[in-house]
Structure 1
Amino acid sequence: MSTSKISLCLLLCLSFFTCINSDELQILLNLKTSLKDSKSNIFSSWVSNNHFCNFTGITCNSNRSSVQEIELSNRNLTGTVPFDSICQLQALNKLSLGLNSLYGTISKDLNKCVKLQYLDLGNNFFSGSFPDISSLSELQHLYLNLSGFSGVFPWTSLGNMTNLVSLSVGDNPFHPTPFPNQVVKLNKLSWLYLANCSIEGQIPVEIGNLTELINLELSDNNISGKIPSEIGNLVKLWQLELYNNQLSGKLPVGLRNLTNLANFDASANFLEGDLSEVRFLTNLVTLQLFENQFSGEVPAELGKFKKLVNLSLYTNKLTGALPQELGSWADFDFIDVSENLFTGPIPPDMCKRGTMKSLLVLQNKFTGEIPASYANCLTLERFRVSNNSLKGTVPAGIWGLPKVTIIDLALNQIEGSITKDIENAKALAQLFAGYNRLSGELPEEISKATSLVAIELNNNQFSGKIPASIGELKQLSSLKLQNNMLSGSIPESMGSCDSLSDLNMAYNLLSGQIPSSLGSLPTLNSLNLSENKLSGQIPESLSSLRLVILDLSNNGLTGRIPDSLSIEAYNGSFTGNSGLCSQTVNSFQRCSKKSRISKDVVTLIICFAVGTAILLVAIPCYFYLKRREKDDRDRSLKKESWNVNPFRELILTEDEILDSIKQENVIGKGGSGNVYKVVLSNGKELAVKHIWNADPHGGHRRIRSSTPILGKRAQRSREFDAEVQTLSSIRHVNVVNLYCSITSEDSSLLVYEYLPNGSLWDRLHTLKKLELDWETRYEIAVGAAKGLEYLHHGCARPVIHRDVKSSNILLDEFLKPRIADFGLARIVQSNGGKDTTHVIAGTTGYIAPEYGYTSKVDEKSDVYSFGVVLMELVTGKKPIEPEYGENKDIVIWVCSHFNSKESVLTLVDSSIPETFKENAVEILRIAVLCTARQPALRPTMRSVVQMLEEAEPCNLVGIVISKDGATKKIEGKQSEKINLDS
């Protein structure tokens, strides 16, 4: 070939490669324009006068002529991905865009990237379905987890990817599908992540063919049936995650073969049988099998496991003793074996290496003493051994562990005293040691544990004085010292415990006077000082408290009972104090003039007499004017004889109320009558509910009726009696205040506090809706829950509301909620029986399903109705809407969307900002728990309050990790069983 021809050939080749280089440069610059770099400034090198092989994140082939890899994962990128141009990079074999904020749909142009061996689009915000990628036959690593894809995943396209090593498509709201058979044919797989992607049915026996697997994660699906014994073929497994499914049966024979297994989690299933197969898994680091039905003993071999740091077996039926060497070999982290039937001693050496954080063995049958070794466990944060049969004394150092936040020793047979070491417990928030045999004096040093929120030392043998320094505990909310042998006086300093809400010192030997400083506690709502030797007068300062429970009975108190405490709500609160007197409580002697008349009282009496004289003069004039009015209703009301029954201190007259019972003041209507707004002469606003008593023929008297029923006496409304009985005894910030009742033969009036912002229904379902932002909705949910919690758990006898709904949740001037309308409420009888009725009580859409098959009503019916309210708060929808379909309500509608994350997010009210939608979904999950069809599966209101508080918007943190190239989201798996009802 001539020299000229060779030169021409070289020139053509050079032109060809220059053209290729120019094309690839332009493709990358096009990618740059599609993506935004918010923080890392990664695209600063992506400029036209720089060779594209020098671009950050770009790797070229050996002769720097073509792009082979694009590595832009975890770079804070946003925007859409132009696959139509990217796939023109002919040599591209790696495209890594995971852990960014990319969005949009994925086009079918992805199929043109035929050389791809590595594709990572995980942890992004894509939408729509993922396309068929059958042409990517060279693919070895596919990461699509937590990417936002939905619809039907193209499992069939995996059939061509016989070289696939890593497959991670979990945490996507795909349509439900049986376990994909295409996956078990990929026998080169080493990493398989299919958690939380709507897989149903059973695990196929062919899973045993994937013998190269190192990681297998199938958690958070709807997988049922047994774990196939063929899983024992996967001898290379390092991690096996099967939690939160519906698996049943025993751990399969052959599981013992997985001797390389480090992490095994099959918790929250229906597995049963013993744990014998686990005894061979000597390389285990974490073992979590909680919330199943396992029985039998924990294999002794677990005590020899050299790497085990995390053991969680709570809520099973396990028996026998725990291996005594358990946790003594590695840097042990925590144990939770609560709610089983374990016996024998607590293993002593789990904190041998000084790394343990939680020891949780509550609700078992452990015996022996608390091992002394834990007194030196300075890393311990949670120490819970309650409800066992432990004896002996508490090792002194345990009282003063520097990081411990809870010490729970209750319901054992522990003796000894609380030592001075407690001054070192700077993080201690909860001290539960009730129902033991502890004795001695309470140390003054307890006031140095300044983080204390709850102290429960009731039902022990403590003696001596209550430390005078206890007022230094500024965060203390609950102090329970009842049923001990404490003596001396109640410290005046207790009035400095500004957070105190529950104080119980009953059944002790306390003497002296009740400190007036208790009246300055702003949040105190329960005070029980009964069965002591207290003397002197009841401090007037207690009148300023909003007490739900007050019990001063069986002491040596003398003098006048303050008028504001002489109300029906406190009946029985003062019995057993023979020296007390009262002008209003019939069971006490009348106070003598000497004991009760002062100059101020004389002045008041004179004013009252003058006022009465004026009133007597005004009454004839008043009736004369009223007779001239045409309104039959008003004349009817005035003809009746009224009886005022006060429950709270309030200055008003019958006339001020009766004058306002007219049409123009109606602010609400109900089946039993109207609700009126009343403004007193002093400017105070009230709400008055007017209830006509049921007539003998079963109807209600109409407001225009001016002729009384002749020959029959009208019967008192059962609704009225129920509401008065309930509300008159209740004091809670989230329950509406009832000031008094005014009754006559034909009708009754209930006088409430007026709440200016109407009901939650009005705010959610009328034009006022936009005024409720998400933070306000959350606070309303928590407040209403606390009100119901009090009704169920805080009253002497539980109160069942029976008509919980958004229209019965009223809002004050600060949009704080009050539970209202107790017309259907019933107080549960003290003998444990429940009220029964053959009439379904409540409102359509809120009524629990058990009304259809039982006449018994309990607290769980209220929990169901409250769950509906939570759904209203999150979705903005009414309980009954046409869009739900025929014979369907909001509960069925919400539950039908819980098949995928994307579907759930569509339920959230569009007015809620994007930043709060994940939080709103958390509240919706609580609502679903509350509306479980079986009452036994619903949480208590106490549990609901705790769950809501834990879901506070500022507390929600998402954690995203990457391990061995597979990115995924970890969503805070539960590692401790908390007894929510304790």
Structure 2
Amino acid sequence: MAALFNFRLEFILFFLCIFPVAFSDELQTLLSIKSSLLYPTTSNVFKNWEPKTPSCNFTGITCNSDGEVKEIELSSQGISGGFPFDKICDLKSLERLSLGYNSLSGEVTGDLNNCVKLMYLDVGNNQFTGTFPDVSKLTELTHFYANNSGFTGKFPWNSFDNMSKLVVLSVGDNQFDRTPFPEVILKLRNLNWLYLSNCQLEGEIPEGIGNLSELIDLELSMNHFTGEIPKGITKLKKLWQLELYENELTGKLPVGFGNLTNLGYFDASTNYLYGDLSEIRYLDQLVSLQLLQNQFSGEVPAELGEFKKLVNVSLYTNKLTGQLPMKLGSWANFDFIDVSENNFTGPIPPDMCKRGTMRGLLILQNNFTGGIPESYANCMSMERIRVSKNSLSGVIPAGIWGLPKLEIIDVAMNDFEGSITADIGRAKTLGEIYVANNRFSGELPSEISKATSLVRIDCSNNQFSGEIPGTIGELKKIGNLYLQNNKFSGSIPNSLGSCVSLSEINMAKNSLSGTIPVSLGSLPTLTSLNLSENQLSGQIPTSLSNLKLNLLAFSNNQLTGAIPDSLAIDAYKGSFAGNNGLCSQNIKNFRRCYGESGKPKEWYTLLICLLVALIVVLVSFAGYLYFKKKGHKENETSLKQNSWNTKSFHILTFTEDEILDGIKHDNLIGKGGSGSVYRVQLSDGTDFAVKHIWTSDSGNRKISGTTSPMLRKPGKKSKEFEAEVETLSSIRHVNVVKLYCSITSDDSSLLVYEYLPNGSLWDRLHTCKKMLLDWETRYEIALGAAKGLGYLHHGCDKPVIHRDVKSSNILLDEFCKPRIADFGLAKIAQADSTKDSTHVIAGTHGYIAPEYGYTRKVNEKSDVYSFGVVLMELISGKRPIEPEYGENGNIVTWVSSKLQSKESLLSIVDSSIPEVFKEDAIKVLRIAIVCTARLPTLRPTMRNVVKMLEDAEPCGLVGIIVSKDDGSNKAEQLKDHTKM
């Protein structure tokens, strides 16, 4: 007995001696992990990871009953740096390692294979590099997350051969090499969640997918799958979510699809699926049905109207017919419906907002009849109403105009009547109004000025009358104002000069009288002004000379006097016709200006000019003497008061003071929606372009002396400034404008760029600075710009979406080599980019991709569309928006209308391009047509656009574009890509 007691005592002493060493080793391992990582100073994650603290008490650490580390939970902690995977498996009892949603970098090494007890591994949503290692020895794994972590190359699918216990496998959102569906996954019979979206899978989805009978969630979206949806999917009776969107699937929904009676979320959008939706009628557990951008036909099953859980329906851009079920959306907290671009008929279901939760009613471009049901006037949750291009009629329920969360109301191209009511004054979030092409009448209510979030108003082609409200100047965010072809009378409000964001004004074909307001000349971003076919009188204000207009139209009014010389240019040819009282010394074939005696008035005009010049010189000299001393001290004091912060992104050969000294009115070379640009020349003759992005309180400041007062008043840095710096600071590409540095203080935001002497492509194609560009030069501009944009999309760590690609944002150096510029709207692509502000229009009218009107989302394919428009400008020499395109037309629709024959196709090409290069121009035109395809999935990537342009290198050979035998077929093929 004593011997047994002694043995037990010795064993206990041995145990006590050994295990403290083991526990000490685990403590050192954890402290080593901490020392390898970077984390925010404000984070508490490692606050108690200290040598004197027991490791089992560390934040994020869980131990087993023996005091050994069992779980590490460090997800979503803002951690960065390289994780020491070579040390983590020293924790021999580790079963759970969670590192997801951080910014970890470097490689994930094969040392993980030593963590043989791991059951849960999450390295997803990080910034690793390289290929994912072979982890085939982790046979105990039940949950494996490696999605969206930057992995590339060949994925070791064979790792899963022995992982029969896997319940969750998530490896999507990694750009692996193209590969077929990995058959080894079909052996994982315990899987209930399989996430393989956006990881470059191709070929057909295998029939064997039906053997994974435990699947609840199957996500295969954003790949390159072809063929039909396999019938095997119909065996997955437990399936709750099925995501197949953005592939190249064809065929019908498989027979038996209705057997998936547990399916709650089904999204097969943006494929080539066709046939009817009859199988859907059995899926009464559906919460969300997303089948947009396919080729489905037939009617929506009536049973959908009885689905008790249905809250989202997106079926837009199909070929569906018939009526929507009248009870649709009336049972649950319905969210939105989008069935646009189909052939639906009948009335709008009245009860989709019955529970007060509906956010979106989008049914545009169908054949719906009747009116908007009165019930929607009480839908306080509604954000977007788009019912344009239907056969709707009647009066819009008054309450709709004033819905408190409404962001856009689009009822254009119907047969509505009545008026816009005073309720609109309550619509504080309303950004856009489209009521064009209806029979609206009455006055525009003055209360519209209280809807201060408005950025676009289109009331064109109606019967509105009365005066334009004088309070319209309170709409500081308004960018586009279309009131043409109505019965407006009275004068144009002078207050329009306060709408500092206006870029387009169209008031043509009304009965407006009085003079053109001088205040319009102070609008910093105005590019289009159409006041033709009214009864305006008086002289054209010289203040309009300050504007940089792409379109100016004053024809058929009663204007008198001399046309300001700066407006009497070829770019505005025809803009002044039908004004018998106008005269000009500069416009050919236009009435010359004469004095009262009937003799030329040049001599007394010259005398008056000399007298005025003399007075100006005397006053200026006196002012100079007065302000020189005072102003010098004031400016010097102002500069000394600022604390400057310079962030350089290239080697600098200048100082802050040299740049600041150049910010003066004499050096101003351009104004845009977000600020001013100056040409600053150093003493050695080097030029730089310096952009000042206006802060919230500096937009109306003027520049005087040698230093701008805008450098004196504190203001918040704009989002445009932050976006531009974030985007350009790390970019190095010959076709992207070079940002040398940013210079900021509490009240100033300056960006210093390389100076490009040839200005923008827009200037060289469309303005008085127009130059004759031969085809080789146009081609090189197209290819260079494509390479720059391709680098943004494919060459950066994360894709950069420009969001405002247009010819005025393509700058040219002295050799006409292009640079992509102006990144004020750019954004870094995120995994979840679900919502852009309605009140910031992402893009420029004429360049915006059509899908933006539905979703407000932009991606790389939106940039591709805009680039296609630029190509059409280069080929045709025309602007994106021209009067000849017709109402609501643009260059894309115009090109589409020219594809019927060889002759009309050739007529698109700019007449200044020699015949020998027209074949080459047509090659690029075909690329432009594909880039502007209606469906984003039909557009190529910018990487492919570059390849296609390289293949279209000018050869100078005269050739026939399409032969007589196959001309019609090719024309039809081109038309398919440009369907509007």
Scaled by the length of structure 2, the TM-score of the pair is: 0.66
Kept in 2: contact 1:835–1:857 (CA 8 A): no
Say whether residues 1:59 and 2:62 are aligned partners.
yes
Equivalent pair of 2:191/2:215 in contact (CA under 8 Å): yes
1:695 is matched with which residue?
none
Tell me which residue corresponds to 1:588.
591
Which residue does 2:848 correspond to in 1? Answer: none
**Structure 2: distance between partners of 1:500 and 1:686:** 21
Give 2:118's aligned residue. Answer: 116
Q: Which amino acid aligns with 2:415?
A: Q
- Whichever residue aligns with residue 303 of structure 2, its letter is E
**Which residue is 1:787 aligned to?**
762
Distance in 2, matches of 1:789 and 1:309, equals 51
Look up the SS of the partner of 1:387 in the other structure: coil
Give, in whole Å, the separation in 1 of the partners of 2:474 and 2:63: 69
Amino acid at match of 2:59: T
Partner of 1:41: 44
| 1:660-675 equivalence runs, <5 A | none
Q: Paired residue for 1:212, among 214, 223, 245?
A: 214
Aligned to 1:287: 289
The CA distance in 2 between the partners of 1:285 and 1:851, in whole Å, is 51
**Partner Cα separation in structure 2 for residue 416 and residue 686 of structure 1:** 48
Distance in 1, matches of 2:609 and 2:57, equals 97
The AA in structure 2 aligned to 1:60 is C
Shift in Å at residue 316 of structure 1?
A: 1.4
Task: Report the CA distance between 1:410 and its aligned residue.
Answer: 0.9
Counterpart secondary structure, 2:520? helix
Q: Secondary structure at the match of 1:356?
A: coil
**Which amino acid in the other structure matches residue 762 of structure 2?**
G
Larger RCO of the pair (alpha carbons < 8 Å, separation 6+): 1
Residue identity in the other structure for 1:341? N
Residue 644 of structure 2 corresponds to which residue in structure 1?
A: none
Given that residues 399 and 421 in structure 1 are in contact (C-alpha distance below 8 angstroms), is that contact kept between their aligned partners in structure 2? Answer: yes
**Cα distance in 2 for residues equivalent to 1:356 and 1:780:** 51
Asked whether the equivalents of residues 104 and 127 of structure 1 are also in contact (C-alpha less than 8 Å), the reply is yes
Match of 1:603 among 584, 604, 607: 607
Please say if residues 146 and 170 of structure 1, whose CA atoms lie closer than 8 Å, have aligned partners that are also in contact: yes
Partner of 2:627: none
Q: Which residue of 1 aligns with 2:364?
A: 362
Q: CA deviation at 1:549?
A: 2.6
Query: Out of 173, 176, 179, which is 2:175 matched to?
Result: 173
State whether residues 802 and 861 of structure 1, in contact with CA within 8 Å, keep that contact through their aligned partners in structure 2.
no
Aligned to 1:771: 740
Partner of 1:851: 920
Cα distance change on mapping 1:333 and 1:594 into 2, 3 Å: farther
Partner residue in 2 for 1:926 = none
Provide the rounded CA distance (Å) in 1 between the counterparts of 2:875 and 2:49. 71
Determine the C-alpha separation between the residues in 1 that align with 2:373 and 2:208: 48
Tell me the SS of whatever aligns to 1:119.
Answer: strand
| Matched residue SS, 1:414 | strand
1:410 pairs, out of 403, 409, 412, with: 412
Is the contact between residue 766 and residue 877 of structure 2 (CA under 8 Å) also seen in structure 1?
no
In structure 2, relative to structure 1, the CA distance for the partners of 1:446 and 1:827 (3 Å cut) is closer
Rounded to whole Å, the distance in 2 between the matches of 1:111 and 1:130 is 12
Aligned partners of 2:134 and 2:918: how far apart in 1?
Answer: 44
**Residue 557 of structure 1: how far off its partner (Å):** 3.2
Query: What's the CA shift for 1:935?
Result: 7.4
Name 2:620's counterpart in structure 1.
none
Whether 2:497 is the aligned partner of 1:495: answer yes
Distance 1:489 1:811 in 2: 45
Matches within 5 A, 1:929-940: none
User: Using a 3 Å threshold, how does the CA distance of structure 1 residues 27 and 526 change in structure 2: closer, same or farther?
Assistant: closer
Q: Deviations over 1:8-58 (max 9, x none)?
A: 344334434444334434433433333445344333444444443333333
Q: Which of 371, 376, 382 is matched with 2:384 structurally?
A: 382
Closer, same or farther: CA 199–396 of 1 in aligned 2, 3 Å: same
Q: CA deviation at 1:177?
A: 1.7
Identical counterparts, % of pairs: 53
CA distance in 2, matches of 1:840, 1:594: 45
SS at match of 2:226: strand
**What displacement does 1:757 show?**
5.5
Question: Does structure 1 residue 149 correspond to structure 2 residue 151?
Answer: yes
Asked whether the 8 Å contact 2:241–2:264 carries over to 1, the reply is yes
Alignment map for 1:373-522 (pairs within 5 Å) = 373-522=375-524
**Structure 1 segment 872-883 matched on structure 2, within 5 A:** none
Change (3 A) 1:74 1:474: closer
Task: Compute the displacement of 1:228 (Å).
Answer: 0.9
What is the one-letter code of the residue matched to 1:288? Q
Q: TM-score, normalised by structure 1?
A: 0.66
Q: CA 1:764–1:863 in 2, change beyond 3 Å: closer, same or farther? A: farther
Work out whether 1:546 is the aligned partner of 2:615. no
Deviation at 1:180, TM superposition (A): 0.9
Give the C-alpha shift of residue 281 in structure 1.
Answer: 1.4
Given the superposition, is the C-alpha separation of residues 848 and 107 from structure 1 closer, same or farther in structure 2, using an over 3 Å criterion? farther
Q: Does 1:78 align with 2:53?
A: no
**Counterparts of 1:366 and 1:411 in 2: how far apart (Å)?**
12
**Aligned counterparts of 2:737 and 2:365: Cα–Cα separation in 1:** 49
Unaligned runs of 5+ in 2: 615-664, 675-684, 691-731, 744-749, 786-809, 823-869, 886-897, 899-903, 934-939, 954-972
1:597 positional shift:
5.2
Alpha carbons 2:315, 2:338 under 8 Å: kept: yes
Distance in 2 separating the partners of 1:191 and 1:816: 43
Name 2:528's counterpart in structure 1: 526
Larger-Rg structure: 1
* Cα distance change of structure 1 residues 18 and 594 upon mapping to structure 2, 3 Å threshold: same
Instruction: State the 1:305 CA deviation.
Output: 1.4
Aligned residues of 2:765 and 2:877 also touching (Cα < 8 A):
no
Query: 1:102 offset after TM fit, Å?
Result: 2.6
- Measured in 2, the distance between the counterparts of 1:244 and 1:286 equals 17
Report how far residue 449 of structure 1 moved.
Answer: 1.8
Secondary structure of the structure 2 residue equivalent to 1:43: coil
Structure 1 window deviating more from structure 2 (429-438 vs 66-75): it is 66-75
Work out whether residues 503 and 527 of structure 2, in 8 Å CA contact, stay in contact via their aligned partners in 1.
yes
Summarize the alignment of residues 233-272 of structure 1 with structure 2, pairs less than 5 Å apart: 233-272=235-274
SS state at 1:335 partner: strand
Provide the rounded CA distance (Å) in 1 between the counterparts of 2:918 and 2:242.
39
* Cα displacement string for residues 500-553 of structure 1 (whole angstroms, at most 9, x for unaligned residues): 332222222223333343344343333322222333444444444433333322
Deviations 1:698-749 (A, max 9, x none): xxxxxxxxxxxxxxxxxxxxxxxxxxxxxxxxx9999xxxxxxxxxxxxxxx
Instruction: Please tell me the residue identity of whatever aligns with 1:289.
Output: L
Report the counterpart of residue 68 of structure 1 in structure 2: 70
CA distance in 2, matches of 1:163, 1:778: 57
d(CA) in 1 for partners of 2:754 and 2:382? 33
Which of 299-308 and 770-779 deviates more? 770-779
SS for the counterpart of 2:258 is: helix
Distance 2:319 2:764 in 1: 30
Instruction: Tell me how far apart the structure 1 counterparts of residues 232 and 444 of structure 2 sit (CA, whole Å).
Output: 60
The one-letter code sitting in structure 2 at the alignment partner of 1:601 is T
Q: 1:858 to 1:456 in 2, by over 3 A?
A: farther
What is the match of residue 966 of structure 1?
Answer: none
Residue 329 (structure 1) aligns with: 331
Amino acid at match of 2:579: N
Shift of 1:758: 9.8
Q: Structure 1: how far apart are the matches of 2:976 and 2:752?
A: 26
Shift of 1:415: 0.7
Q: Distance in 2 between matches of 1:301 and 1:111?
A: 52
1:74/1:590 CA distance change after superposition, 3 Å: closer
Equivalence for 2:201: 199
- Paired amino acid for 1:496: S
